[in-house]
């Protein structure tokens, strides 16, 4: 297994905790770990197991895969991170809705990966807000 990137992981967990507006004590309780242990993880002093990362991810309502990538346990797949992160950050969606969206996204990616390169759809350019495009 590759070396864990504990410092980067700890920073990321702290950022996610702050974004979720959860105290260290609250997150420790929700994740089922002690306050000192979680504090040591956030400061990069401890190497948490995959099971502990899964508990922390569940408590933060983010995917365990996200923490595994940050820890260096899993390799990041190109293109997935931005979409997955955006869906997981969305406060107006329930956990179930997030899971369904990510399942649909992954199925589309798998379907497109199976197509020959000539059948791939052309990339769609996002419209810039406030700028109208001429109609043809």
**At which of 48, 71, 94 does a domain end?**
71
Q: Is the pLDDT of residue 71 over 90?
A: no
Q: Does one domain contain both 30 and 64?
A: yes
d(CA 79, CA 95): 22
Residue with more model confidence, 33 or 76: 33
135 inside domain: no
Q: Percentage of the chain with pLDDT > 70?
A: 77
**pLDDT tens profile 17-38:** 998 899 999 999 999 999 999 9
Tokens of 82: 């931005």
Q: Does one domain contain both 46 and 103?
A: no
pLDDT reported for residue 17: 92
pLDDT reported for residue 81: 63
Domain that holds residue 63: 6-71
Q: Is the pLDDT of residue 131 over 60?
A: no
Nearest partner of 41 among 2, 4, 6, 73, judged by Cα: 6
Q: Does one domain contain both 63 and 21?
A: yes
pTM score, whole prediction: 0.56
Q: Is the pLDDT of residue 126 over 60?
A: no
Residue with the two structure tokens 């595994």? 68
Residue with more model confidence, 26 or 134: 26
Nearest partner of 43 among 4, 2, 3, 13, judged by Cα: 13
Q: Does one domain contain both 14 and 52?
A: yes
């Amino acid at each position: 297994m590759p070396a864990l990137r504990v410092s980067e992981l700890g920073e990321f967990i702290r950022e996610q905790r702050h974004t979720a507006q959860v105290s260290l004590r609250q997150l420790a309780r929700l994740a089922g770990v002690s306050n000192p242990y979680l504090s040591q993880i956030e400061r990069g002093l401890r190497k948490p197991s995959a099971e502990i990362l899964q508990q922390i991810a569940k408590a933060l309502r983010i995917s365990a895969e996200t923490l595994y990538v940050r820890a260096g346990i899993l390799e990041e797949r190109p293109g997935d991170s931005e979409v997955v992160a955006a869906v997981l950050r969305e406060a107006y969606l329930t956990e179930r809705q997030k899971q369904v969206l990510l399942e649909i996204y992954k199925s589309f990616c798998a379907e497109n990966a199976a197509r020959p390169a000539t059948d791939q759809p052309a990339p769609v350019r996002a419209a810039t807000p406030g700028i109208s495009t001429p109609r043809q």
